[in-house]
Amino acid sequence: MTLEQAIAEISKNAAGEWQAIEEYLNLISDLRKIHAPKQLIDDIEEIISDELNHGQKLFHWVVKLSNIQPAKD
Ligand SMILES: [Fe+2]
């Protein structure tokens, strides 16, 4: 595995975190329609928070390993 392949793999996993967030948000939307318990919504929001944390950690490593900084514009 090359460094670029490793960075690509980490990027793929980061994308997976964002995909999970999208799916959890859609789930919350569906759960609200059936008036699901607030605690369930709260728990899923906590899971989303965890996924954001995972995404940030993976983003950090993509930047660090690639030595490519995000554009400022
Ligand atoms: Fe995650």
pTM for this model (two decimals): 0.91
Length of the chain equals: 73
- Give the domain ranges of the chain: 3-65
Residues bordering ligand 1, an ion, CB closer than 5 Å: 17, 51, 54
Cα 34 to ligand 1 centroid, rounded to whole Å: 26
pLDDT given for residue 17 in this prediction: 98
Q: What is the pLDDT of residue 73?
A: 86
The per-residue pLDDT string of the chain (73 residues; one tens digit each, 9 = 90 and over) reads 999 999 999 999 999 999 999 999 999 999 999 999 999 999 999 999 999 999 999 999 999 999 999 999 8
Residue type, 48: I
State in Å: Cα 2 to ligand 1 middle.
24
Query: In this predicted structure, what is the pLDDT of residue 58?
Result: 98
